Structure 1
Amino acid sequence: MAAKRIKHDIVIFGATSFVGQILCKYMVDRHGVDGESINWAIAGRNAQKLEAVVESTGADVPRIVADAGDADAIAALCASTKLVVSTVGPYALYGSKLVAAVAEAGIDYCDLTGEPQWMQRMIDRYQDRATETGARIVHACGFDSIPSDLGVWYTQQEAIDQLGEPCVSISMGVKAMKGGASGGTVASMMNMMEEVSADPSLRHVLGNPYAIAPKGDRTGPDQPNVTLPQYDDGLDSWLAPFVMAATNTRVVFRTHALLDHQWGDDFTYGEAMMMGEGLGGRAKAMSLSGAMGGLMGAAAVGPMRKMMGRFLPEPGEGPSPDAQEQGFFDIRFHGTTASGAEIMTKVTGDRDPGYGSTSKMLGESALALLDSDAPGGFWTPATALGDDLISRLVEHAGLTFEVL
């Protein structure tokens, strides 16, 4: 039997999406289109839109027409490449056939999903097959959840190096952030609410911080969950809920499980928005907590979801290039070891989180995964890519990691 001929190192599936186009431009700037360093291609369901991407981004590379719902086309796409990058969400609606094909083909895959219920579904269905074929699958390679996952990883490595022991507790606080809401993220959240409405048992999945840990390891100590204003002494700030905590914390706990609980069976981790000190910080925390509670409450009601959809960003919509460049994020991690020693670290990005920075994180994740020595299976950014991805993000993608 003749060996299959791999044509590409990377295929960007969903190149016509808003983030996909930014990623294409990033790949052009980073690697060009001649295939000398990376042989890459773009894919989408509409040939004319792919040509428009070529015109707007300079991504004059091979084009592949494939629809997310066409299993045969997806299988052919997977047969042509070493790795697929997917920006096609909501993933619970459009991503399952691709993950199935990747697991069967034994190739690599990364995406931007922030949908824990879908990640659990994919892990439970395809982990064994991915292990057999050698497929390496890494979800959540954007602002969901690289700053959180790699931030905790970095903090723990520094704690071990500087303090001689890992942190048994870490609190993450978003100190500052500028950037518009991602239409894709909004669509994913709304679809998640639709799924819960149709299947109330999903509330247990979404409420479990260990939901995407390996089977048999989905319980553990109670975890912090900021839903109301509270003061954090380690971060020196009033806290309010952070909308992405429900995804990011699950990824961190999968990392901890895949590392065989190296940070201790009682390890705790939580995320929140930092609102500042004093009465002003408390007032801001109360205001944001109320707004978040109202938003999530409204999104849980079908008619309200439809009404909200008229005003929230749609998938494919996003900020202008100037707005992307003016965006940023600044995240802090306060860790405490078993002996009471403390460490504070910082992770920053130089573009708006949901688009400009996310596209760079996704691109570097794909490149790092090609060089990873992880075996087949479902991994997290920290466990598959770790320090190599941190180095790439610092050198090429405008992120910083430092101890304060």
Structure 2
Amino acid sequence: MTAVDREFDVIVWGATGFTGRLVAEYLLEQYGTGRELRWAMAGRNREKLEGVRGGLGPGAVGIPLITADSHNPESLRSMVERTSVICSTVGPFARHGSELVAACAASGTDYCDITGEVQWVRKMIDAHEDTARKTGARIVHCCGFDSIPSDLGTLFTHRQMQSLHGGPCESIKFRVRRMKGTFSGGTVASLLNALDEAREDRDARRTMGNPYGLNPEGEQQGPDGPDQRKPAWDPDVNSWTAPFVMAAINTRVVRRSNALCGYPYGKTFRYEEAVMTGRGPGGWARAVSMTAALGGFLVAASIGPARTLLNKLFLPQPGEGPDADARERGFFDIVLVGKRGADSIVTRVRADRDPGYGATSRMLGESAVCLAKDNLDTAGGSWTPASCMGDKLIRRLETSAGMSFELQENR
């Protein structure tokens, strides 16, 4: 069966979860039902799926519903063979996502998700790359806030540098300028699970500690070292900076994109991420405070009783999230500083929804539609957003998803 013979273009897997509901809501608003995009919602519980569909309003009555189980391979195979693309929101992915990726790879079904779990992505690449190449399945992880702004922002910055100065950037600094919103409960659960795996599994620990841990075998080395771990002054943005928690996945995705595309950025390309905290004593104090808070969280999350207290009092749980007003008031504003010799440029990536929920659901939804509907010159295999969808996804995000990619300065 070919993709054009399949019943659906996209199935949203995990539609009863918080982010899954948002993806379904976005697809309904943007593409409706019974029109060009043929899509369905799927989950484990039919009654809950019907509740989600009912909550989307009268326009959702025609959305087909599908039931399957994350740990029942036969039910997953039956589901994925009905669609061109599976759009997955069910995490932590290391616990609940492996059988689904296996089913997609075996069935030649394209797949995208919002994982930020480096160790799991590595396992999926190693386990299913050969099968996906044979069947034509395009497996694309990290299609949310981790790591689309980083991956597509880097691609966009390189395009600008080549156009203006005749070659790629030699280095790029990704800086979170401003951001309002919260990380999703699923992201937190995935981070906690990754900490557990790193403590118990030497291979997972090695992958997470290697700046090039997602690169193809034999290409896991380069000039970049560990991610930023302490406050630092950055003269390129005239600001103090603090470590960015999502650099652990984003930087590795960007480096994998470079490798998969044949090193268009160059084999000596350098890339790093951090959060801007401002100038002067206040900026320094904020950088120190953020660094201490992140370090304290990682330590506490690694200790059983402390983690229990964190979970009970402070951390969002999977399936929980902010209301519509809070999501709409959220945003992110990111700058990327690209350098090539004496030349430098500054680009900007922005979105008009909170990063963890509103913007992520739109990025994932458009990634799924891009895989289903755009003429992508990409064969089967394990890809990244930039290496698989690139400029076509950028155009979709700018046209439909409230994101912008723009050149800010040519220095």
TM-score class normalised by the smaller sequence:
over 0.9
The 8 Å contact of residues 105 and 131 in structure 2, kept in 1 or not, is answered as yes
Confirm or deny that 1:261 pairs with 2:260: no
Q: Residue in 1 aligned with 2:166?
A: 164
* Correspondence for 2:337 among 334, 338, 341: 334
1:313 pairs with 2:345: no
Secondary structure of 2:116 counterpart: coil
Q: Aligned to 1:290, which of 289, 292, 297?
A: 292
Query: Which amino acid in the other structure matches residue 51 of structure 2?
Result: A
CA distance in 2, matches of 1:239, 1:274: 4
Q: Does 1:384 align with 2:388?
A: yes
SS of residue paired to 1:375: coil
- CA–CA distance in 2 between the matches of 1:29 and 1:357? 15
Q: Which moved more, 1:300-309 or 1:311-320?
A: 300-309
The question of whether the paired residues in 2 share the 8 Å contact of 1:13 and 1:86 is answered with yes
List runs of 5+ in structure 1 lacking aligned partners. Answer: none
**1 CA distance for matches of 2:5 and 2:371?**
20
Question: Tell me, what secondary structure is at the counterpart of 2:346?
Answer: strand
Residue 95 of structure 2 is matched in structure 1 by: 93
Q: Which moved more, 1:366-375 or 1:382-391?
A: 366-375
Alpha-carbon offset, residue 118 of structure 1: 0.2
Distance 2:9 2:334 in 1: 33
Using the alignment, how far apart are the partners of 1:5 and 1:164 within structure 2? 44
C-alpha spacing 1:132/1:309, structure 2 compared with 1 (3 Å) = same
Could you tell me how far 1:212 is from its partner in structure 2?
1.0
In structure 2, relative to structure 1, the CA distance for the partners of 1:326 and 1:4 (3 Å cut) is closer
- CA distance in 1 between counterparts of 2:93 and 2:45 reads 19
1:51 and 2:53 matched: no
For the residues of structure 2 that align with 1:134 and 1:140, how far apart are their CA atoms? 19
Query: After superposition, where does 1:3-402 map in structure 2 within 5 Å?
Result: 6-34=6-34, 36-58=35-57, 59-60=60-61, 61-223=63-225, 225-311=227-313, 312-337=315-340, 339-370=341-372, 371=374, 372-402=376-406
Instruction: Report the Cα offset of residue 200 of structure 1.
Output: 3.8
The more displaced of 193-202 and 322-331 is 193-202
Inter-partner Cα distance in structure 1 for 2:335 and 2:128: 35
Verify the 8 A CA contact 1:224 1:269 in the aligned structure 2. no
Q: Partners in 2 of 1:86 and 1:238 — Cα distance? A: 37
Aligned equivalents of 2:217, 2:188: Cα separation in 1: 29
Quote how far apart the aligned CAs of 1:306 are: 2.5
- Give the distance between the partners of 1:82 and 1:403, measured in 2 at CA: 35
How many angstroms does 1:53 deviate by? 0.7
In 1, Cα distance between equivalents of 2:274 and 2:20 = 29
In structure 1, what residue type is equivalent to 2:56?
A: T
RMSD: 1.5
Equivalent AA in structure 2 for residue 97 of structure 1: E
Write the letter of the residue equivalent to 2:347. Answer: T
Q: TM-score, normalised by structure 1?
A: 0.97
The aligned amino acid for 1:98 is: L
Closer, same or farther: CA 5–151 of 1 in aligned 2, 3 Å: closer
**Offset at residue 4 of structure 1 (A):** 10
CA distance in 2, matches of 1:98, 1:403: 39
Shift of 1:308: 1.7
What is the deviation of 1:181?
2.2
1:162: Cα distance to partner? 0.6
Deviation of residue 269 (structure 1)? 0.5
Q: How many residues are aligned here?
A: 402
Whichever residue aligns with residue 110 of structure 1, its letter is: C
* C-alpha distance in structure 2 between counterparts of 1:173 and 1:140, whole Å: 19
The answer as to whether partners of 2:339 and 2:345 remain within 8 angstroms in 1 is yes
- Give me the whole-angstrom Cα distance separating, in 1, the residues matched to 2:5 and 2:171: 48
The one-letter code sitting in structure 1 at the alignment partner of 2:357 is Y
Structure 2: which 5+ residue stretches go unaligned?
A: none
- Give the percent of matched residue pairs that are identical in Structure 1 and Structure 2: 49
Name the SS for the 1:167 alignment partner. Answer: coil
2:112 aligned counterpart, secondary structure: strand
**Cα drift, residue 2 of structure 1:** 12
| Structure 1 Cα separation of the partners of residues 68 and 193 of structure 2 | 23
Q: CA deviation at 1:224?
A: 5.6
- Deviation track 1:163-221 (CA, whole Å, cap 9, x = no partner) reads 11111111111000000221000000111111122224422111111111111111112
